[in-house]
Homo-oligomer: A and B are copies of this chain.
Amino acid sequence: MTTPSPPLSLNDFQRLIRAMYFEKDSARGVDGTFMWLLEEIGELAAALRDGTPEEQAAEFADVLAWLTTIANVAGVDLAEALQRKYGAGCPGCGQLVCTCDSAGKP
């Protein structure tokens, strides 16, 4: 398929993941679902170490999907959370281009 897709909004993705997995993941609960997220984090680390660009992209997608499903179970709107924390600039220094101390946590 080469038809270009419209840009995927975070809201759309969160709804898509809810439709796919909510029933199963809400039954499993946050704790059990968090274990799957951690497994994907490990796979992302491995792919960043020696995966192809395609493998790396797929692992980023999996981490995002598991993070999103946990947000669904916890009742968190990801787009709203991002907007609130990062929409007005770096939460550390308040600047669009972060000027926090490099050694510190932005």
Question: Which chain A residues have a beta carbon within 8 Å of chain B's beta carbons?
Answer: 5, 7-11, 13, 16-17, 19-21, 23-24, 27-28, 30, 34, 36-39, 41, 45, 48, 53, 56-58, 60-65, 67, 70-71, 74-87, 89-90, 95-98, 102, 105-106
Contacts and interface: CB of A to CB of B under 8 A. Distances in A.
Contacts of A76: 53, 56-57, 60
Q: Is the interface of A mostly helix, strand, loop or mixed?
A: helix
A60 B78 contact: yes
Nearest to A77: B57
A32 B80 CA distance: 28
A85 B70 contact: no
Contacts of A17: 86
